[in-house]
């Protein structure tokens, strides 16, 4: 990539400038938080310590369950071939781009007080279960992160060369010891830390399913300190604690990466030999069906309840949808522009800037921006622009990874030929890079837009009464126990999210020069 970045000439400077600008913006937000926290006594209250313990506990349990349950599901998918397997794997990933508030509503429809599960328990004269508290938070994170765990571990199984699989089958009883267990030892630490970091900074799940002070995370405590107590110094102190926690575990995740080391074989991967016998086949089928039911049933309930709730939609649904789409389009455009400039610039500084938002929390950075704006203007007036900007940063690591890898591949395949033809700078970008980036740019823009349109954390921190987006409208309807109307808004939100993703992804694939 270094050779390609140098060949691009004038394009490198803006990329490096943007890298410094991103680092400077995040640094300014952290500095504002630190400066505000400096005037507050250093000790933490009992409630603060409780929030810290709960944050770590729920993240650890969520990661352990998400990855632990993903192992047998990924193993079954890796060694079984059946009609619709590819479609099922795609559908199992739907919760990743589903707005979190919609996922929560789907879980409530299945596991809530009046949900399907409790109705079945009532028919069997068994005690009902509660979705709120620690169990609810872990359940929400399991629903959202189990697909990620399945994907990460499934990639590990598919990376094992088929020749080694067949050799291990010949050596009876040695398949697990020789191949599967070494692969899991390499893949599991990274998967556990990835899910743990996601759950560590989760806000919407704890807000909607926490159920009280005993189930308060640090991010939820920051929001309460700003919006309810207006104790900005306490919010800053908690934000620093959250930032230190995220930075510490991000450093652990960075140092834990390990190569799989399975060799290349004849480059035939993803070919598995399923064990014979009815019991293994039954076990694999059971794991696949249970995972599909757990992940797809809440989505079906969202659609079913949403259709019934369309007649009860609030009057402001149109403006809320327009605000959500405007924020999503702005966030997607900014995130893709930043990622593209960083990818073209190349170098370790660009890579660091593209990954830096992972070590921070959107709510922590939002708190810093709130503190910088407070005293200069009313922060609620900047709710929509700030939400778009912070959503762009949240999506930047995902967008940057896809675009940068595509730029590296283009430079590796065509860099020398372009240099021999005298293609440098903007001409190289226009004639070589951009035509071959349409697919990854479309996918990245769709992913960033889908992630942004469902954001609740930042808009909830900044919003006033007249800047309601679809997730915020849905949250307020749920708080007012207007569940039919909330279901209708959820269906609209899902359609908007999927439509944005499809339009960008489809646009990138149309007439793409790949």
Alpha carbons 91 and 300: distance in angstroms, whole number: 12
Alpha carbons 247 and 367: distance in angstroms, whole number: 17
Q: In percent, how much of the chain has pLDDT > 70?
A: 85
User: 220-262, pLDDT tens digit by residue?
Assistant: 999 888 888 888 888 888 888 888 888 788 777 656 654 444 4
Q: Is the pLDDT of residue 2 over 90?
A: no
Average pLDDT over residues 54-79: 92
Structural domains present in the chain? 1-31+326-467 (no CATH), 45-293 (1.10.3720.10)
What are the angstrom distances between the C-alpha of 405 and each of 13, 112, 292, 409, 411? 20, 42, 31, 6, 10
- Among residues 351, 294, 311, the alpha carbon closest in space to that of 484 is found at 311
Question: Any idea which of 96-100, 177-181, 306-310, 371-375 has the lowest mean pLDDT?
Answer: 177-181
Question: pLDDT at position 24, please?
Answer: 85
Packed helices 317-345 and 347-355: angle between N→C axes, nearest 10 degrees: 160
**Composition of the chain by helix, strand, coil, percent to 5:** 80, 0, 20
359: number of CA atoms within 13 Å, CB side? 18
Question: pLDDT at position 259, please?
Answer: 46
Long-range contacts of 291-295 (CB under 8 A, 24+ apart): 291/69, 291/73, 291/92, 291/146, 291/150, 292/88, 292/91, 292/92, 294/143, 294/146, 295/91, 295/92, 295/94, 295/95, 295/143, 295/146, 295/147
Alpha carbons 365 and 396: distance in angstroms, whole number: 14
Q: What is the 3-class SS of 84-121, one letter each residue?
A: CHHHHHHHHCHHHHCCHHHHHHHHHHHHCCCCHHHHHH
The neighbour count for residue 419, using CB atoms within 10 Å, is: 15
Which pTM value belongs to this model?
A: 0.83
Reported confidence tier of residue 421, pLDDT bands at 50, 70, 90: confident
Task: Output the six-digit token pair for 372.
Answer: 């910088």
- Among residues 81, 67, 87, 80, the alpha carbon closest in space to that of 151 is found at 67
Q: Is the pLDDT of residue 7 over 70?
A: no
Higher pLDDT, 3 or 225: 225
Q: Is the pLDDT of residue 326 over 70?
A: yes
Q: Is the pLDDT of residue 449 over 50?
A: yes
Average pLDDT over residues 5-27: 66
Task: Output the six-digit token pair for 281.
Answer: 């086949």
Question: pLDDT at position 176, please?
Answer: 56
Sequence-distant (≥ 6) Cβ neighbours of residue 510 within 8 angstroms: none
Higher pLDDT, 329 or 252: 329
- Among residues 224, 209, 222, the alpha carbon closest in space to that of 101 is found at 209
Question: pLDDT at position 262, please?
Answer: 47
409: number of CA atoms within 13 Å, CB side? 11
Look at the alpha carbons of 81, 82, 87, 91 in this order and tell me if their dihedral is positive or negative. Answer: negative
Alpha carbons 240 and 234: distance in angstroms, whole number: 10
């Amino acid at each position: 990539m270094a050779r390609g970045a140098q060949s691009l000439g004038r394009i490198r400077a803006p990329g490096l400038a943007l890298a410094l600008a991103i680092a400077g913006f995040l640094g300014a937000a952290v500095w504002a938080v630190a400066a505000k926290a400096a005037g507050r006594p250093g000790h933490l209250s009992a409630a603060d310590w409780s929030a810290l313990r709960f944050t770590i506990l729920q993240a650890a349990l969520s990661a352990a369950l998400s990855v632990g349950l993903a192992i047998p599901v990924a193993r079954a998918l890796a060694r079984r071939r059946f009609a619709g397997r590819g479609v099922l794997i795609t559908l199992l990933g739907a919760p990743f781009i589903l707005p979190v508030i919609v996922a929560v509503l789907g879980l409530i429809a299945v596991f809530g007080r009046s949900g399907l599960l409790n109705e079945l328990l009532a028919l069997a004269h068994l005690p009902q279960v509660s979705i709120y508290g620690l169990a609810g938070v872990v359940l929400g994170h399991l629903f959202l992160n189990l697909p990620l765990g399945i994907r990460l571990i499934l990639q590990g199984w598919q990376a094992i060369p088929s020749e080694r699989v067949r050799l291990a089958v010949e050596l009876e009883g040695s398949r697990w010891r020789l191949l599967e267990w070494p692969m899991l030892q390499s893949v599991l630490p990274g998967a556990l830390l990835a899910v743990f970091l996601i759950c560590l900074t989760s806000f919407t799940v704890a807000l909607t399913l926490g159920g009280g002070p005993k189930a308060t995370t640090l991010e939820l405590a920051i929001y309460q300190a700003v919006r309810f107590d207006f104790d900005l110094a306490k919010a800053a102190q908690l934000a620093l604690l959250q930032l230190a926690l995220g930075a510490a575990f991000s450093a652990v995740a960075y140092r834990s990466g390990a190569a799989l080391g399975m060799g290349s074989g004849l480059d035939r991967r993803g070919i598995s030999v399923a064990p014979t016998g009815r019991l293994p086949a039954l076990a694999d089928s059971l794991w696949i069906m249970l995972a599909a039911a757990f992940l797809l049933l809440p989505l079906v309930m969202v659609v079913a309840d949403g259709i019934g709730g369309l007649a009860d939609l609030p009057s402001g649904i149109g403006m809320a949808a327009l605000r959500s789409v405007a924020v999503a389009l702005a966030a997607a455009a900014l995130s893709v522009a930043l990622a593209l400039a960083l990818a073209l610039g190349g170098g370790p500084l660009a890579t660091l800037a593209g990954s830096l938002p992972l070590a921070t929390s959107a709510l922590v950075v939002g708190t810093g921006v709130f503190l910088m704006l407070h005293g200069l203007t009313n922060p609620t007036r900047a709710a929509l622009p700030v939400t778009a900007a912070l959503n762009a940063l949240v999506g930047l690591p995902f967008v940057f990874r896809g675009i940068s890898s595509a730029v590296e591949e283009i430079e590796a395949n065509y860099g020398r030929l372009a240099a021999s033809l005298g293609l440098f700078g903007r001409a190289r970008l226009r004639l070589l890079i951009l035509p071959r980036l349409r697919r990854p740019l479309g996918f990245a823009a769709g992913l960033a837009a889908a992630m942004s349109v469902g954001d609740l954390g930042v808009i909830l921190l900044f919003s006033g009464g007249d800047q309601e987006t679809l997730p915020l409208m849905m949250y307020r309807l749920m708080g007012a126990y207007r569940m039919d109307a909330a279901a209708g808004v959820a269906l609209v939100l899902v359609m908007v999210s999927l439509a944005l993703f499809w339009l960008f992804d489809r646009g990138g694939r149309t007439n793409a020069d790949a």
